[in-house]
């Protein structure tokens, strides 16, 4: 989306397969996106004060060393630039284990590591991921420590059109499923 709107975009992921797939799509679409296989906790390939915006869509909760990752994001951001990320809402997280949705609300306080087994009809083959439950305070502390001041927090809701098209989404209206946070790098 950003590249289509004229932004110069750099993509990074630790998954070689995902980056290979993205590069294949880049050959087809020619958006000028530069892709790198790397750990988000080590962005040393990029100089300090380099980017105007860093985004992280539904991934920070899956990164074990999130403190180092946020530190690296702060390092590569220019002053007054933004870090926008989304995570599952930690107050109302649902994990999928062996095809069953399980609420984590009974253990909100305290970090936890969850091994999630993805086994659904729409998948070619089942797989497992690891996710790390953290509180909003955990995220806000690491942002603040790295001079990334929260400007906005949004709890997205499904649209009426979305609910009409997918009636099971009505369940989503009962509680927020995710959080989008925008933080700005404080000038020195």
User: What percent of the chain has a predicted confidence (pLDDT) above 70?
Assistant: 92
Output the CA angle 126-166-117, nearest 5 degrees. 15
CA distance 66 to 11: 18
Q: In the predicted model, is pLDDT for residue 137 greater than 90? A: yes
Cα–Cα distance list, 59 to 17, 49, 55, 130 (Å): 16, 23, 10, 11
Residue 171 CB neighbour total at 10 angstroms = 12
pTM of the predicted protein model: 0.86
pLDDT at residue 4 in the model:
95
Element (H, E) at 57: strand 51-57
- The mean pLDDT of 122-131, rounded to a whole number, is 82
Q: 27-36, 54-63, 99-108, 161-170: which has the minimum mean pLDDT?
A: 99-108
Tell me, what's the pLDDT at 100? Answer: 56
Q: Is pLDDT at 44 greater than 90 in this prediction?
A: yes
Query: To the nearest whole number, what is the mean pLDDT of the chain?
Result: 89
Overall average pLDDT of the 107-118 stretch: 78
Residue 62 has pLDDT above 80, yes or no: yes
Count the helices and strands in the chain (H runs, E runs): 4, 10
153 — phi, psi (to 5°)?
-135, 125
State residue 101's pLDDT score: 57
Distance CA 185, CA 68 (A): 16
pLDDT at 98 over 70: no
Looking at residue 76, its pLDDT comes to 98
């Amino acid at each position: 989306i950003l590249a289509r709107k004229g932004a110069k975009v750099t993509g990074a992921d630790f998954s070689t397969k995902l980056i290979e797939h993205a590069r294949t799509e880049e050959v087809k679409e020619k958006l000028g996106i530069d892709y790198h296989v790397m750990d988000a906790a080590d962005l040393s390939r990029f100089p300090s004060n380099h980017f105007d915006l860093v985004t992280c869509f539904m991934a920070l909760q899956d990164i074990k060393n999130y403190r180092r990752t946020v530190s690296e994001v702060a390092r590569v951001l220019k002053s007054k630039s933004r870090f926008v990320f989304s995570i599952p809402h930690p107050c109302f997280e649902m994990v999928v284990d062996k095809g069953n949705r399980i609420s984590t609300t009974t253990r909100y306080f305290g970090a936890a590591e969850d091994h999630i087994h993805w086994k659904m009809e729409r998948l070619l083959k089942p797989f497992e991921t690891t996710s790390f439950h953290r509180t909003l305070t955990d995220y806000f502390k690491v942002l603040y420590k790295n001079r990334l001041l929260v400007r906005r927090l949004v709890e997205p809701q499904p649209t009426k059109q979305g609910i009409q098209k997918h009636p099971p989404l009505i369940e989503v209206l009962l509680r927020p499923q995710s959080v989008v946070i925008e933080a700005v790098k404080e000038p020195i």
